[in-house]
Amino acid sequence: MALLEVENLSIGYRTKKGVLQAVDNVSFSVEAGRSLGLVGESGCGKTTIGMALMGLLPRNGRVTAGTMRLMGRDMLGLSREQWRELRWKEIAMIFQAAMNALNPVQRVDQQIAEAILTHNPGLSRGEAHSQVEGLYQLVGLPLERLRDYPHQYSGGMKQRAIIAMALACNPKIIVADEPTTALDVIVQDQILQETKALQKEFNIGIIFISHDISIVAEVCHHIAIMYAGQMVETGTTDEVFRDAKHPYTRALLGSFPALGGERRPLRPIPGEPPLLVGQLMGCRFCDRCPVHGKACKLEPPQRRRFSDTHFALCDHCD
């Protein structure tokens, strides 16, 4: 059984102009020790999914349809208190270090210990603290920096601290939201490698959210490409990279320098994604699609299967 199963998930935001359909009919699953990369432009709904998995949708956001199951347990029916207990213990999150994910006026060790103490109320402060020390060693942070404040850390150290924090309660699943953005390439690479190692060691399922498909390729077993709230293509990393079906995936691959692949001129994707408000007809990528046909604009595209793991949401790909 998969660790996490998401089926036909739809999420909408109430706004002044109407309901914004941020995520539309998305399904995926993650297994222990495996990782899934969610890739797409900003605003495509990938972060919304991450937040939904943590039960942290903003006040005006709501799951409108579908199910989310963690180890067979339905997450949508959880009460607030159940959610609170579930968070971090079962499913943790790695935030982008460049964001203000760490509280600037609290010492870092305290912020990590806080998570441990919240979920293990029986623990003493000292015990929690020694656990934090262990985590520091794990992620390769010097122990003498434990009592520092976040602003005293470099970007890479902050990211490591955040990873340490995510591991604090031995979660089954970690949602990593753009964990390496804004880090320089070398640090980025180090952290990715370490993440991979940790994942293996603790047998964690990871959902890796990024706008950078090449980074995702480095770490993930599976990739899901998101566009305008929909999952337009899913497959193993190999499948997607070698045999991208959806025109958007292809465009994405073209717009990023591949880490190990051949050198190609970068091609930006012209146009902008549609506004996700109101009734949307037809294929959402239509306006930017180089290969669209006449029907695309009117009929919603069909989900097409290419292998057991490889799907795409397009009528024109083959």
Bridge partners (DSSP) listed for residue 173 = 91, 205
Compute the distance between CA of residue 192 and CA of residue 238 in angstroms, rounded to an integer. Answer: 18
- The pattern of x and - marking residues 136 through 175 that bind another protein according to CB under 8 A reads -------------x-x-------------x----------
Specify the residue, 55 or 235, whose C-beta has the smaller distance to another protein: 55
Closest contact distance (angstroms) between CB of 163 and another protein is 13
Nearer to another protein, 64 or 118 (CB): 118
- Binding range to another protein, per CB under 8 A, among 21-29, 105-113, 120-128, 268-276: 105-113
* Structure tokens given for 295: 């029907």
**Pick 4 or 115: Cβ nearer another protein:** 115
Find the binder of another protein among 8, 65, 73, 106 (CB under 8 A).
Answer: 106
Q: How many angstroms separate the CA atoms of 310 and 240, rounded?
A: 8
Q: Which stretch binds another protein (CB under 8 A): 107-115, 206-214, 230-238, 273-281?
A: 107-115
Query: Could you tell me how many helices (H) and strands (E) the chain has, helices first?
Result: 9, 12
**Cβ-Cβ contacts under 8 Å for 84 (sequence gap 6 or more):** none
Give the integer Cα–Cα distance in Å for 179 and 165: 13
Does the footprint of another protein cover residue 126 (CB under 8 A)?
A: no
Q: What are phi and psi of 35, to 5 degrees?
A: -135, 145
79 sits near another protein (criterion: CB under 8 A): no
Is 101 a binding residue for another protein by CB under 8 A? The answer is yes
* 116 vs 312 by CB, closer to another protein: 116
**Count of other CB atoms within 10 angstroms of residue 295:** 12
Binding piece for another protein, criterion CB under 8 A, among 112-120, 187-195, 245-253, 283-291 = 112-120
C-alpha span between 78 and 299 (Å, rounded)? 36
Indicate if the alpha-carbon torsion angle 116, 117, 123, 129 is positive or negative.
positive
d(CA 198, CA 210): 19
Examine residue 88 and tell whether it contacts another protein (CB under 8 A): yes
- Kindly list the residues in this chain that would bind another protein in the complex (CB under 8 A): 16, 54, 56, 60, 84-89, 92-93, 95, 99-107, 111, 114-115, 118-119, 149, 151, 165
